[in-house]
Chains A and B, each alone.
Chain A
Amino acid sequence: MSSRFAAGMFVWLMGVTLCSRGFAQQYPSVDGRQNPLSQMSPVGMAAEWSRGLGIDRPPYFQPVQLSLPEGCQLAVYHGPRRAPIELSNPGQAGLLVGQTYRYLVTGLVDFPGVEFYPSVELIDRLHPPAGQADQFPVTLELTAEEFELAAKGRLITKVVYLEQPDRVPTATLESTTRMTDLPPSENAIAHADVLGRPIAIVRLGGRTPDPHRPDPQFFGMGAPVRLGPTPRAE
């Protein structure tokens, strides 16, 4: 398994919102199946369901790598105090499966002084060869165009999934991550579920914390983050 192949394993499905009332019913079914989850499900709901399925047992820190436009600074909030940990760009950290994390992105060239707070909801994990977990992280990417949309008040939702082997278009396999744009009326999670195994949901908007009324829930539920290499035992 080469790193090129690993990078090509992930395909992004981007749904630039929005939602529908009774979202479980108004999205058309995909492949004859109706997925109760969608990109507009409440944040943390898919992770909660994955915990209910036992995917988080035993607890596993899935290496996740987030790539940003050049020059950006990156941090992730963790722990009961929701303290930020600064990461490099691209930044890699081990996130617990079944949890939702909030990142802090600053330093965008087109938006000086503006902070963005994307969230990553980890709903499943990878199973890399033993001892090579850090070489095959879940790769996430946020582009400058997406930050521009977020600054305009729009919500960008990306569903990252691991392709099912018999549905991999090997003829177009490249080192870059493929991305499919879906209209707001389509269920991105359902499409990802048909093509493979959804791993993570990334959401990016323009909301920032209010210093006059701090809201700890804004920074997630305080799940831990692991930095450094993953132990071989996992």
Chain B
Amino acid sequence: MKYYFLALGTVVVVCVGCAMDGQQITQKGEYHAPPASMMQRPGPMVDGPGPGVMPMLAPQAPRPFVASTTQVRFIGPDGMHVGWQIPGGYAENQIVAPGRYNFLQGNTYRLKLTNVPGREALSLYPSLQVYPAHPNTDAYLSHNSVPVQLTAEDLDQFESNNFVTKVIYLPDAKFQELAIANVETLVSTRLDPGVDPVQEADKRGTIMAVIRMGNMDFEMPGPRPGVGPTTMMGGSGVEQTAYSVDGLEGQHMPPLPIGPAGPGAGGIPGAMMMAGPGTPPGPPISGMNGMPVWGQPITGTPIGLAGPANLPYGGPAGLKSHTVRNRTRQDIPEPVDHMLIDVIHEPGISLPKPVKYMEYKETHPVYQPGELSYPAWAAPQGGGQ
């Protein structure tokens, strides 16, 4: 009897083993491709050895239709005039809502909104961050504009001295609430207190633009952030006379980027030797580029007090010892010496095994002697066989 089960088991193992290659056990019959960024740049040993090893063998061919600009469409309110900051001032009335303009991606701009219906005396100076295109937003941005609208509720918020942040993003599929989806806008005033609309939008999709609005007047006389008079010799010099650019008179001028925008903006700077805040990169030289002169009595101490001069003026050195004891209780953890980050893609990347065997078989008709086969169009009497 046991020989019977042994033989039966052998047959099962042989048959199942021939039909399975092992992947059926660990997989559910689905394969999952890597994410978009990995698909575009496969990585080392595929499209090049990677950065830091040697230059790429060939530059990556630019893809067509990947717009370097984002078209922002100012929907309303109707009749609102949109201007923006330019070198030396503001270009007024460049667009009348509803209108649109192509902004270079990856930059922050200062807008000037005037002639708001019902609030003609109001001038707003929102900042507009135009995010760089993401593989998820390329198709949308090359065919659609990003809508920006100022609602009556927003205007009420400004007049109440509130700060409003609007984030326009392309939602992920799982956050689509309608059958026919569209871009969505997150407004800070509609979120719970403490919720960052940028972070919230980043969770739900891909950010395309962020507009921040308050009631600060950026054209007040005197020192102003962003646009200040051109000064010489420490601020008591010449003030540049701002020239006027008015779109209503047919004058147009592109906006001046006032900063970067998007992921990576304000991120970790590249490796460089820094000699102190505000100092250009390079080796620190005493007395140069803002470095203190050697010997100047500004020696720092661990508790922030200035130390004594380390070079006496005109006399022999008398100070032989200088001790500052920090008696502060400290409970500071040790710095991390080895960092470990686990990255998990869900679902994991799974690809089928590559093909290593093919069988190509052709079956041809066989005719006996005397039999002829004609295609229909070549048959002698119009009747093929």
Binding site for B on A (CB under 8 A): 16-27, 29, 32-36, 39-45, 48, 100, 102, 117-119, 149-150, 152-155, 157, 183-185, 203-208, 210, 212-213, 215, 217-218, 220-221
Set of chain B residues within 8 Å of A212, measured between Cβ atoms: 94, 101-102, 252, 254
Taken together as a complex, chains A and B put the C-alpha atoms of A220 and B63 apart, in Å, by 10
Please determine whether B136 and A19 come into contact, CB atoms closer than 8 angstroms: yes
| A interface footprint on B115-143 (CB within 8 Å = 1, 0 otherwise) | 00000000000000000001111111111
Please determine whether A18 and B173 come into contact, CB atoms closer than 8 angstroms: yes
Could you tell me how many residues of chain B have their Cβ less than 8 Å away from some Cβ of chain A? 56
Please determine whether A157 and B35 come into contact, CB atoms closer than 8 angstroms: no
| A interface footprint on B368-382 (CB within 8 Å = 1, 0 otherwise) | 000000000000000
Whether A45 contacts B100 in the complex (CB less than 8 A), given A154-B180, A206-B145, comes out as: no
| Interface-facing stretch out of B9-17, B66-74, B317-325, B353-361 | B66-74
- Taking A22-B37, A154-B182, A218-B67 as known contacts, 5 extra A-B pairs with beta carbons closer than 8 A to each other, sorted by chain A number, are A16-B179, A26-B173, A45-B63, A153-B147, A184-B176
Please determine whether B31 and A153 come into contact, CB atoms closer than 8 angstroms: no
The 7 closest A-B pairs by CB, nearest first: A205-B143, A42-B138, A221-B64, A205-B144, A22-B35, A185-B173, A43-B65
B206 within 8 A of A: yes
Set of chain A residues within 8 Å of B172, measured between Cβ atoms: 19-21, 26
Set of chain B residues within 8 Å of A34, measured between Cβ atoms: 30-33
Please determine whether A29 and B180 come into contact, CB atoms closer than 8 angstroms: no
Please determine whether A18 and B145 come into contact, CB atoms closer than 8 angstroms: no
Within 8 A of A (CB), among B248-263: 252, 254
Could you name 23 residue pairs across A and B whose Cβ atoms are closer than 8 Å? A16-B180, A18-B173, A18-B181, A19-B139, A20-B205, A21-B205, A21-B206, A22-B35, A36-B34, A40-B136, A40-B139, A43-B65, A43-B142, A48-B61, A100-B65, A157-B139, A184-B179, A205-B143, A206-B143, A210-B71, A212-B254, A215-B69, A221-B64
Please determine whether A184 and B65 come into contact, CB atoms closer than 8 angstroms: no
B90 to chain A, nearest CB (A): 16
Majority secondary structure, B binding face: loop
Please determine whether A155 and B139 come into contact, CB atoms closer than 8 angstroms: yes
Please determine whether B345 and A25 come into contact, CB atoms closer than 8 angstroms: yes
Set of chain A residues within 8 Å of B100, measured between Cβ atoms: 208, 210
Please determine whether A203 and B39 come into contact, CB atoms closer than 8 angstroms: no
Taken together as a complex, chains A and B put the C-alpha atoms of A23 and B347 apart, in Å, by 13
Please determine whether B143 and A207 come into contact, CB atoms closer than 8 angstroms: yes
| Of A21, A23, A40, A208, most B-chain CB atoms within 10 Å | A21
Across the two chains, which residue of chain A brings its CB closest to B349? A25
Please determine whether A16 and B139 come into contact, CB atoms closer than 8 angstroms: no
Set of chain B residues within 8 Å of A16, measured between Cβ atoms: 179-181
B174 within 8 A of A: yes
Please determine whether B143 and A20 come into contact, CB atoms closer than 8 angstroms: no
A24 to chain B, nearest CB (A): 4
From A24, A48, A157, A210, B36 is in contact (CB under 8 Å) with A24
Within 8 A of A (CB), among B195-218: 205-206
Please determine whether B138 and A43 come into contact, CB atoms closer than 8 angstroms: yes
Whether A22 contacts B63 in the complex (CB less than 8 A), given A42-B135, A210-B71, A210-B100, comes out as: no
Taken together as a complex, chains A and B put the C-alpha atoms of A40 and B135 apart, in Å, by 8
Set of chain A residues within 8 Å of B65, measured between Cβ atoms: 42-44, 100, 102, 119, 217-218, 220-221
Please determine whether B101 and A19 come into contact, CB atoms closer than 8 angstroms: no
From A27, A42, A154, A155, B173 is in contact (CB under 8 Å) with A27
Taken together as a complex, chains A and B put the C-alpha atoms of A183 and B178 apart, in Å, by 9
Across the two chains, which residue of chain B brings its CB closest to A204? B143
Whether A42 contacts B139 in the complex (CB less than 8 A), given A153-B183, A184-B173, A212-B252, comes out as: yes
B171 within 8 A of A: yes
B102 to chain A, nearest CB (A): 4
Across the two chains, which residue of chain B brings its CB closest to A181? B179
Across the two chains, which residue of chain B brings its CB closest to A45? B63
Set of chain A residues within 8 Å of B40, measured between Cβ atoms: 42, 45
B221 within 8 A of A: no
| Of A35, A42, A149, most B-chain CB atoms within 10 Å | A42
Taken together as a complex, chains A and B put the C-alpha atoms of A19 and B206 apart, in Å, by 9
Taken together as a complex, chains A and B put the C-alpha atoms of A42 and B67 apart, in Å, by 10
Please determine whether A19 and B137 come into contact, CB atoms closer than 8 angstroms: yes
Set of chain A residues within 8 Å of B141, measured between Cβ atoms: 207
Set of chain A residues within 8 Å of B171, measured between Cβ atoms: 18
